Amino acid sequence: MKDFYLSFDESSPKYLQLTKHIKELITSGKLTNHYRLPSIRRLSQHLKVSTSTIVQCYNNLENDGFVYKKVGGGTYVIGDNNKSMLKEDFSDISLESKVPYDFASASPSPVFFPVKTFKELLNRVLDRDGGYAFNYQEQGGYLPLRQSLTSMLTNYKIYVTAQEVSIITGGQQGVDIIAKALLEKNDYVVVEKPSYPGAIASFNSRSANIIEVPIRQKGIDLIQLEKVLAQYKPKLMYLMPDFQSPTGYQYDLKSRKKVIELANKYNTYIVEDDHFSDLNYTSNSLPPLKSLDTMDKVIFVKSFSKAFMPGLRLALMIPPSSLHNQLNEVKQHTDISTSGLVQRAFDLFLREGLWDVHIKSTKQIYARRFSTALKMLERTLPWEVPFTHPTGGLCIWVSLPHNYNSQTLYYEALKKGVAILPGHRFYFSQNQHNTFRLSFTSVTEQEIAEGTKLLGDTVKQFLTDYRDLGHLKHPKSKFF
Amino acid sequence: MKDFYLSFDESSPKYLQLTKHIKELITSGKLTNHYRLPSIRRLSQHLKVSTSTIVQCYNNLENDGFVYKKVGGGTYVIGDNNKSMLKEDFSDISLESKVPYDFASASPSPVFFPVKTFKELLNRVLDRDGGYAFNYQEQGGYLPLRQSLTSMLTNYKIYVTAQEVSIITGGQQGVDIIAKALLEKNDYVVVEKPSYPGAIASFNSRSANIIEVPIRQKGIDLIQLEKVLAQYKPKLMYLMPDFQSPTGYQYDLKSRKKVIELANKYNTYIVEDDHFSDLNYTSNSLPPLKSLDTMDKVIFVKSFSKAFMPGLRLALMIPPSSLHNQLNEVKQHTDISTSGLVQRAFDLFLREGLWDVHIKSTKQIYARRFSTALKMLERTLPWEVPFTHPTGGLCIWVSLPHNYNSQTLYYEALKKGVAILPGHRFYFSQNQHNTFRLSFTSVTEQEIAEGTKLLGDTVKQFLTDYRDLGHLKHPKSKFF
Ligand SMILES: Cc1ncc(COP(=O)(O)O)c(C=O)c1O
Ligand SMILES: Cc1ncc(COP(=O)(O)O)c(C=O)c1O
């Protein structure tokens, strides 16, 4: 009880002073997890303040996440919530992180991050560079990292100088910078249909007109694309040639060459979002658009989030030379520069040759999960529910029969402990949709086997139930 | 010589294969700093390739910053450029980092960063949280950090819950997010005149109309401000009440209350950019606008760059509750989330009570430099050249007589080894200007004494020379 004692001053209301004091007791570790705070009456007598002061204080503490209340009574300390409260990634908002079979999140699993190695590198950087690692970095990014990336990129058949590479704070920032630099109100932008919601949001924030062109197994629909290019003269097209998100489709060589040709013909830029090409589970890789780019039309953005660690907030961008200065300037007034510490540590990671090692082992894990998932889905999903069979990436795209709403299935599956990601968020309109996405990054093979079985049962039941209800006649509003 | 041997394949042109090979020799440390590469003839004979292959390769290496050439001949390795090439911060682009007296940069000096302590905290975070520190973080930021910040903010008389605080990737990102969320083409924005160029750039990127209202010693000119508010109904005003950049002026309490009143009356938001309030060299601090905000009009942005370490890329934002969701969403499609590792380490830094300790010692250093500088400038600058006398922050603002151009003075001073920051960049128009900024973060007191003396001499000479030339008649173009 004596820890709670406090002599009040006139600086602010008493309940705030007390709140601050108890927070300090908690954060200093004096009050530990699940410690029961004194009752309101006892504490008010002890401190000679009104009970309402204590009530206000305890409410504040609860709001701020420092304590929780039990229904039967009593207020208890939340001592350490470092590992809790971790929400999933942007495109993958899975609110139910405690679901036993989480097929919604496509964040790579933190269990596979090379934390020990990276920790060592961080320490080496700090011993070597001291405070310079915590200063603003030079425009375009830390030069040695840009040099290492230049060598790395030759493996992707991209031959550039360090000056042509810009370091950015994640792939999302890349897309956002490009939108800011190139798009004005009512400009047209082409995206694949379906596409990555973060990109759609960035284009939207520029009040651009977003035109969706369907993605097929071998790439974007080239005939529709050409029509759209001819008619609207869009400023740019946003494409994911390797293991497109969310479908997992991969452009074949013909489609790659053709989109370049069309970009040249209609004088438009291509934003190539390379998020997944490193997670290729076969041995045949196709050249990135950037390497086929003859007329300097491709803005290449390569994120290290999915194949490495999202929390680095690190990606690279290679603009056409005509856009180089403009994009670097926009990057500057977006967040000045990307963390020097992270840039330096990642530079060492590359120089030590650890990238290839990491990719190899990560691929092995995901490839196994992925092939288990595909095999299981073949068995458990009914024939009316086809799905994509990607050879890389982290996602499988499933289609219910026309007019079935995946949002409804989502709720049904959740009851069984299975989380899926309904497809509407990958469309500009965000209307109800019959598609959904599955991902298998944070579940074991055992869980994949069990979860896909449960999902299959749910889907079958769902198709029957809703067929019996005459799903074709369901009004749209019914589902929302 | 044997290290250079390489068996070429058909994958790419020979000069590229050789470039890659030599880069690897350099980055692996086999070839060290200043190592002289073999002559073109010798290497071409050794590898049995044409001399032009070697020439192309060496040129590439030079372009990428891996080698340098000496005028007399010879190509030499740049072994480690980690510490070189460090450019100064955005607003403070000082191209001449080797100037003996650098009064241009306002970046805090890396020498004072608590690198050891922070390194320890980073290690503790990694031991505790493992891969979770490298995952995407929850929306709004890492909750425990938001909790620590909530306690910290009570020292600024700001009483908020953790949910109201958003973590962002630096103050620049805060301004940029706000611009993106609130401004559309042709909206009006008020900034102080002069103001921070990074903010002007962000508002500009939304095609907003920027209206400059003069800043005076005790705050923005309130009469002009009210006129502008009445006439243009701006969406927001961007203000720096504490040690405004670049002037160093501080709003008095009356001005603070009045701008809040005006924001309420004309229904406009205030962006309060708190960059410097922690570097207050007196003991009287004034309440931030946020703490006086009665009608939820203030968007508070607090950066940790200048008082702590810019390279963290960390700041906090407290939006009015009505904008909370919108700004958090825009933050998401700007860069998804801020580095989890940095958020967690900074959280520990605060919980250990290290913030106050750090600020105290940093302030001591800068306060001494600042007062030396002010004393010296009193002695060395002629009476026609007044300057501000801030009681905090890192900058002093100097005015030459009307019609003298500080850009010309800049070149003159540079010849003497003194760097100043010409004032035009702090104005929307960026026309020539008679003002300049001085900063004393990365110079010792000895250097301040010497440099201000040199500067004083230069200014006197400059005033005479240009008066003799009849400066009033100088055409604008003359100066550019
Ligand atoms: C296709 C795609 N592009 C870009 C991003 C942005 O990721 P980051 O900013 O972490 O690189 C994501 C994230 O989920 C994504 O799925
Ligand atoms: C007044 C002001 N605001 C904001 C910033 C942005 O800094 P950061 O993004 O590092 O917080 C700066 C940087 O120089 C500045 O001077």
Point out the least confidently predicted range of A458-472, B31-45, B245-259. A458-472
Residue in chain A closest to B205 (alpha carbons) equals A180
Residue in chain A closest to B89 (alpha carbons) equals A136
Residues A133 and A129: their CA atoms lie apart, in Å, by 6
pLDDT at A86: 29
Residues A194 and A285 in one domain: yes
The neighbour count for residue A406, using CB atoms within 10 Å, is 23
Confidence of residue A452 (pLDDT cuts 50, 70, 90): very high
Residues B72 and B100 in one domain: no
**Structure tokens that stand for A165 in this block:** 């590479």
Domain boundary residue among A352, A379, A406? A352
Mean pLDDT of A11-37: 83
pLDDT at B101: 94
pLDDT at A293: 96
The neighbour count for residue B28, using CB atoms within 10 Å, is 12
Residues A49 and A187 in one domain: no
Q: Say yes or no to pLDDT of A67 above 80.
A: no
Residue B197 C-alpha to ligand 2 middle, in angstroms? 9
pLDDT at A479: 33
Say which DSSP state A417 is in: T
Which pLDDT tens digit goes with each residue over A243-274? 999 999 999 999 999 999 999 999 999 999 99
Say which DSSP state B190 is in: E
Mean pLDDT of A446-458: 96
pLDDT at A81: 37
Q: What is the pTM for the complete model shown?
A: 0.81
Domain containing residue A14: CATH number: 1.10.10.10
Q: Is residue A86 part of a domain?
A: no
Q: Is residue A480 part of a domain?
A: no
pLDDT at A468: 61
- Amino acid in the structure at residue A56: Q
Cβ-nearest to B173 among A60, A170, A334: A334
| Best of A14, A24, A61, A64 to mutate (most B CBs within 10 Å, chain B) | A64
Any bridge partners for residue A438, and if so which? A396
Residues B397 and B387: their CA atoms lie apart, in Å, by 5
Q: Say yes or no to pLDDT of B137 above 80.
A: yes
Residue in chain B closest to A348 (alpha carbons) equals B27
Q: Say yes or no to pLDDT of A200 above 50.
A: yes
Residues A216 and A176 in one domain: yes
Cβ-nearest to A310 among B60, B111, B135: B135
Helices (DSSP H) in B234-353: which residue ranges? 253-265, 289-292, 324-335, 340-351
Chain-centroid distance, C-alpha B135? 27
Confidence of residue B195 (pLDDT cuts 50, 70, 90): very high
Residue contact A169–B313, C-beta within 8 A = yes
Q: What is the 3-state secondary structure (H, E, C) of A53-122?
A: HHHHHHHHHHHCCCEEECCCCCEEECCCCCCCCCCCCHHHCCCCCCCCEECCCCCCCHHHCCHHHHHHHH
Say which DSSP state A313 is in: -
Residues of chain A with C-beta less than 8 angstroms from the C-beta of B150: 23, 64
Place of tokens 């911060």: B89
Which pLDDT tens digit goes with each residue over A214-234? 999 999 999 999 999 999 999
Beta carbons of B149 and B140 less than 8 angstroms apart: no
pLDDT at A87: 29
A170 lines ligand 1 (CB under 6 A): yes
Confidence of residue B258 (pLDDT cuts 50, 70, 90): very high
Residues of chain B with C-beta less than 8 angstroms from the C-beta of A16: 154, 159
Q: Is residue A471 part of a domain?
A: no
Residues A89 and A67: their CA atoms lie apart, in Å, by 27
Residues of chain B with C-beta less than 8 angstroms from the C-beta of A185: 184-185
Domain boundary residue among A308, A335, A352? A352
pLDDT at B112: 82
Residues B382 and A237: their CA atoms lie apart, in Å, by 59
Give per-residue burial for A92-130: e unless 16+ CB within 10 Å, then b: bebeeeebebbbbbbbbbbebbbbebbbebbeebbeebb
pLDDT at B348: 96
pLDDT at B71: 62
Residues A372 and B128: their CA atoms lie apart, in Å, by 32
Q: Say yes or no to pLDDT of A473 above 60.
A: no
Residues A151 and A282 in one domain: yes
Hey, is B37 helix, strand or coil? coil
Q: Is residue A85 part of a domain?
A: no
Cβ-nearest to A87 among B24, B139, B150: B139
Q: Say yes or no to pLDDT of A286 above 50.
A: yes
Q: Say yes or no to pLDDT of A426 above 70.
A: yes
Residue B172 C-alpha to ligand 2 middle, in angstroms? 5
Q: Is residue A477 part of a domain?
A: no
Confidence of residue A472 (pLDDT cuts 50, 70, 90): very low
Confidence of residue B479 (pLDDT cuts 50, 70, 90): very low
Q: In terms of C-beta distances under 8 Å and separation of at least 24 residues, what long-range contacts does A259-265 make, across chains too?
A: A259/A219, A259/A220, A259/A222, A259/A225, A259/A289, A260/A289, A260/A292, A260/A293, A260/A294, A260/A297, A260/A298, A262/A222, A262/A225, A262/A226, A262/A229, A263/A237, A263/A295, A263/A297, A263/A298, A264/A294, A264/A295, A264/A297, A265/A229
Phi/psi class of residue B7: alpha, beta or left (left: φ > 0; alpha: ψ in -120 to 50)?
A: beta
Q: CB-based contacts of B393: which residues, under 8 Å, 6+ apart?
A: B242, B243, B244, B245, B248, B276, B279, B306
The neighbour count for residue B226, using CB atoms within 10 Å, is 17
Residues of chain B with C-beta less than 8 angstroms from the C-beta of A311: 133-137, 339-341
Residue contact B337–A313, C-beta within 8 A = yes
The neighbour count for residue B416, using CB atoms within 10 Å, is 16
Residue contact B151–A23, C-beta within 8 A = yes
A273 lines ligand 1 (CB under 6 A): yes
Residue in chain A closest to B170 (alpha carbons) equals A335
A188 lines ligand 1 (CB under 6 A): no
Residues A129 and A226 in one domain: yes
Residues B195 and B200: their CA atoms lie apart, in Å, by 8
Cβ-nearest to A336 among B82, B172, B340: B172
Residue in chain A closest to B171 (alpha carbons) equals A335
Residues A431 and B346: their CA atoms lie apart, in Å, by 41
Domain containing residue A200: CATH number: 3.40.640.10
DSSP string, B78-113: ----SSSS----GGG--S-TT-SEE-S--SPPGGGS
Which pLDDT tens digit goes with each residue over B49-81? 999 999 999 988 876 667 777 666 788 876 543
Residues A100 and A443: their CA atoms lie apart, in Å, by 9
Residues A423 and A336 in one domain: no
Domain extent at residue B53: 2-80
Residue B445 C-alpha to ligand 2 middle, in angstroms? 25
Mean pLDDT of B213-238: 98
Which pLDDT tens digit goes with each residue over B290-318? 999 999 999 999 999 999 999 999 999 99
Residues B26 and B405: their CA atoms lie apart, in Å, by 47
How far is the CA of B219 from the CAs of A78, B263, B269, in angstroms?
43, 15, 17
How far is the CA of B391 from the CAs of A279, A319, A449, B243, B378, in angstroms?
56, 44, 67, 8, 15
Which pLDDT tens digit goes with each residue over B382-432? 999 999 999 999 999 999 999 899 999 999 999 999 999 999 999 998 888
Residue A125 C-alpha to ligand 2 middle, in angstroms? 25
Q: What is the ipTM of this complex?
A: 0.79
Mean pLDDT of B251-266: 98
Residue, of B82 and B137, whose pLDDT is higher: B137
Residue contact B90–A207, C-beta within 8 A = no
Chain-centroid distance, C-alpha A125? 28
pLDDT at B396: 97
Which pLDDT tens digit goes with each residue over A394-405? 999 999 999 899
Q: Is residue B280 part of a domain?
A: yes
Give the nearest ligand 1 atom to B336 CA.
Answer: 9
Beta carbons of B197 and B191 less than 8 angstroms apart: no
Which ligand number lies closest to the CA of residue A89? 1
Q: Say yes or no to pLDDT of A163 above 80.
A: yes
Confidence of residue B33 (pLDDT cuts 50, 70, 90): low
Residues of chain A with C-beta less than 8 angstroms from the C-beta of B131: 109-113, 115, 309
Residues B264 and B407 in one domain: no
**Structure tokens that stand for B344 in this block:** 């967690």
Residues A258 and A405 in one domain: no
Residues B30 and B171 in one domain: no
Instruction: Provide the domain count of chain B.
Output: 3
Q: What are phi and psi of B48, to 5 degrees?
A: 55, 50
Identify which of A105, A305, A339, A441 to mutate to test ligand 1's pocket (most ligand atoms within 8 A of the CB). A305
Which ligand number lies closest to the CA of residue A176? 1
Residues B343 and B202 in one domain: yes
State the nearest Cα–Cα gap between B475 and chain A, in angstroms.
30
pLDDT at A11: 86
B198 lines ligand 2 (CB under 6 A): yes
Q: Say yes or no to pLDDT of A471 above 70.
A: no
| Best of A77, A93, A318, A333 to mutate (most B CBs within 10 Å, chain B) | A333
Place of tokens 């095609």: B207
Domain boundary residue among A314, A335, A352? A352
Q: CB-based contacts of B223: which residues, under 8 Å, 6+ apart?
A: none
Phi/psi class of residue A213: alpha, beta or left (left: φ > 0; alpha: ψ in -120 to 50)?
A: beta
Cβ-nearest to A138 among B87, B176, B335: B87
pLDDT at A33: 66
Q: Give chain B's mean pLDDT.
A: 89
Cβ-nearest to A132 among B86, B148, B169: B86
Residue B313 C-alpha to ligand 2 middle, in angstroms? 10
Q: Is residue A475 part of a domain?
A: no
pLDDT at A310: 94
Which pLDDT tens digit goes with each residue over B147-169? 999 999 999 999 999 999 999 99
Q: Say yes or no to pLDDT of B106 above 50.
A: yes
Residue A302 C-alpha to ligand 1 middle, in angstroms? 9
Which of B198, B178, B249 lies closest to B220 in space, CA to CA?
Answer: B249
Identify which of A87, A91, A191 to mutate to test ligand 1's pocket (most ligand atoms within 8 A of the CB). A91
Q: What are phi and psi of A98, to 5 degrees?
A: -100, 10
Residue in chain A closest to B28 (alpha carbons) equals A351
B408 lines ligand 2 (CB under 6 A): no
**Structure tokens that stand for B114 in this block:** 């608590």
Q: Give chain A's mean pLDDT.
A: 89
Which of B11, B459, B55, B469 lies closest to A157 in space, CA to CA?
Answer: B11
Q: Is residue B470 part of a domain?
A: no
Q: How many percent of chain B have pLDDT more than 90?
A: 76
Residues A212 and A238: their CA atoms lie apart, in Å, by 10
Residue B437 C-alpha to ligand 1 middle, in angstroms? 41
Residues A194 and A76 in one domain: no
Mean pLDDT of B15-19: 92
Any bridge partners for residue A435, and if so which? A399
